[in-house]
């Protein structure tokens, strides 16, 4: 990374020594996990570049946007509508929450038995190592689970620009009305932040930009259904992770480019794994950068991941927003309709999620499901047992895993995954 970046990080208030240590670990992990893969599509070179510059060139672009008067909005959740942010001439970026950092400091503020994802978001703030967080003009929290809800009360004392969005917990007319009221409140807050009034034309542009991003990922997901798999699950996950950071138009073009390449591979019956390799769907908690532990274990155990039923995956991108409305009101209703379909485990009851898992198993021709739960993530862990039971009642093998971000349990997880893969053979 160049000296220019060091100056930029310093101006953002990062702890340079801690940040160097993080980048060193991140770079080595990427080398060992991603660059060690065989027969990767050439188009993944773009995503390798994005990861190598994830705290460099991309942050410089955001800093340049800020200098030109554009606002940056940071978010922790797929419920934050990017369409509205773009329509107000702002940029939405995902915030860091995929690795342990500054754990001792975090545990002075949060209970030790808080889920890794929440602790990670605090660790990146307290450790001063997330340039996305430090460059955001507004940080959007959302009341999904109880852990996040209460943690945002503490985070409010660490940042001066936190906006918390309330979310419904029941799929009802009242729930939908709450979501609409919250999106209207968010629209007003973003307009106030940017000084830009969201017009019908701006909102339509925002919807079409985000739809194009999601449609490119739908195309990739469809190609991953082929046997032999034309791309690894690790690379599929990486593309889904980059979705949250990259410039939307450039991301969309890069995903479509890799899809062109994969179509040629499929026509030539070329895959990254042999035909008849056991196919696994990963379901459950989100896997944010640099949380690559589970796919690494699965794919070195002789299976291939063919889909992610996750917020960083299908759940986050499944539906497009209807862009046929002509007024701001009509388009906002379409945005509410789209986000209300997200089947997060916070909803009760949540039958849609079980339907989606089974639908994905059928579409991806998965041989089995691994349900990935982060320790102390109450909503997904509570759903994991009913999910496992429902799948097994339908003769779909399911392995329930509960883990965190540390590497301490890799040996134990490996043993369990290898036994599961053997069972699928």
Q: Residue 2's pLDDT is what? A: 64
**For residue 333, is it within any domain?**
no
**For residue 264, is it within any domain?**
yes
**For residue 386, is it within any domain?**
yes
Name the 3-class secondary structure at 350. coil
**For residue 164, is it within any domain?**
no
Instruction: Flag whether pLDDT at 413 surpasses 90.
Output: yes
Give yes or no for a contact between 132 and 94, defined as CB atoms under 8 angstroms apart.
Answer: yes
Tokens 């019908």 belong to residue: 200
Distance CA 298, CA 309 (A): 16
**For residue 80, is it within any domain?**
no
**For residue 185, is it within any domain?**
no
**For residue 153, is it within any domain?**
no
pLDDT digits (tens, 9 = 90+) for 153-189: 999 999 999 999 999 999 999 999 999 999 999 999 9
DSSP 92: E
Nearest one of 347, 346, 344, 400 to 374, comparing CA atoms: 400
Give yes or no for a contact between 165 and 79, defined as CB atoms under 8 angstroms apart.
Answer: yes
Residue 384 structural domain: 205-320+344-424
Q: How far apart are the first and last CA of the chain?
A: 45
Beta bridge partners of 172: none
Here the CATH number for the domain that contains residue 269 is: 3.40.50.11900
Nearest one of 279, 301, 282, 159 to 228, comparing CA atoms: 279
Beta bridge partners of 309: 283
Distance CA 362, CA 38 (A): 27
Q: What is the pTM of this model?
A: 0.97
Give yes or no for a contact between 348 and 378, defined as CB atoms under 8 angstroms apart.
Answer: no
pLDDT digits (tens, 9 = 90+) for 83-130: 999 999 999 999 989 999 999 999 999 999 999 999 999 999 999 999
Instruction: Give the chain's radius of gyration (CA, Å).
Output: 21
Number of domains observed in the structure of the chain: 1
**For residue 415, is it within any domain?**
yes
The secondary element (H helix, E strand) that includes residue 168 is none
């Amino acid at each position: 990374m160049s000296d220019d970046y060091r100056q930029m990080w310093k101006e953002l208030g990062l702890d340079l020594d801690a940040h160097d240590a993080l980048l060193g670990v991140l770079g080595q992990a990427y080398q060992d996990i991603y660059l060690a893969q065989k027969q990767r599509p050439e188009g993944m070179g773009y995503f390798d570049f994005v990861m190598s510059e994830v705290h460099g060139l991309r942050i410089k672009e955001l800093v340049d946007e800020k200098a030109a008067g554009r606002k940056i909005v940071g978010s922790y959740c797929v419920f934050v509508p990017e369409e509205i942010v773009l329509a107000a001439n702002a940029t939405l970026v995902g915030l860091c929450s995929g690795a342990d950092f500054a754990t001792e400091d975090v545990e002075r503020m949060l209970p030790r038995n808080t889920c890794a994802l929440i602790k990670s978001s605090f660790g990146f703030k307290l450790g001063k190592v997330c340039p996305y967080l430090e460059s955001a003009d507004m940080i959007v929290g959302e009341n999904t689970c109880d852990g996040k809800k209460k943690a945002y009360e503490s985070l409010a004392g660490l940042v001066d620009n936190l906006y918390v969005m309330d979310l419904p917990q029941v799929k009802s007319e009242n729930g939908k009305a709450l979501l609409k009221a919250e999106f209207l409140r968010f629209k007003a807050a973003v307009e106030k932040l940017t000084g830009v009034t969201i017009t019908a034309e701006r909102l339509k542009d925002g919807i079409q930009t985000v739809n194009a991003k999601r449609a490119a990922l739908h195309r990739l997901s469809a190609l991953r259904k082929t046997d032999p798999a034309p791309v690894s699950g690790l690379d599929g996950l990486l593309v889904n992770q980059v979705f949250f950071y990259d410039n939307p138009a450039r991301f969309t073009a890069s995903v479509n480019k890799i899809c062109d390449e994969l179509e040629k591979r499929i026509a030539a019956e070329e895959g990254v794994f042999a035909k008849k390799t056991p196919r696994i769907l990963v379901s459950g908690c989100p896997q944010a950068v640099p949380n690559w532990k589970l796919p690494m274990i699965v794919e070195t155990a002789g299976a291939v991941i063919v889909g992610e039923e996750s917020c960083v995956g299908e759940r986050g991108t499944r539906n497009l927003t209807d862009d046929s409305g002509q007024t701001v009101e009509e388009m906002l209703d379409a945005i509410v309709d789209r986000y209300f379909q997200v089947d997060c485990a916070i909803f009760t009851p949540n039958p849609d999620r079980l339907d989606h898992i089974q639908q994905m198993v059928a579409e991806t021709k998965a041989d089995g499901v691994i349900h990935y739960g982060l320790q102390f993530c109450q909503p997904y862990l509570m759903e994991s047992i009913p999910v496992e039971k429902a799948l097994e009642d339908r003769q779909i093998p399911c392995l329930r895993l509960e883990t965190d971000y540390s590497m301490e349990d890799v040996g134990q997880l490996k043993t369990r995954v290898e036994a599961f893969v053997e069972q699928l053979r």
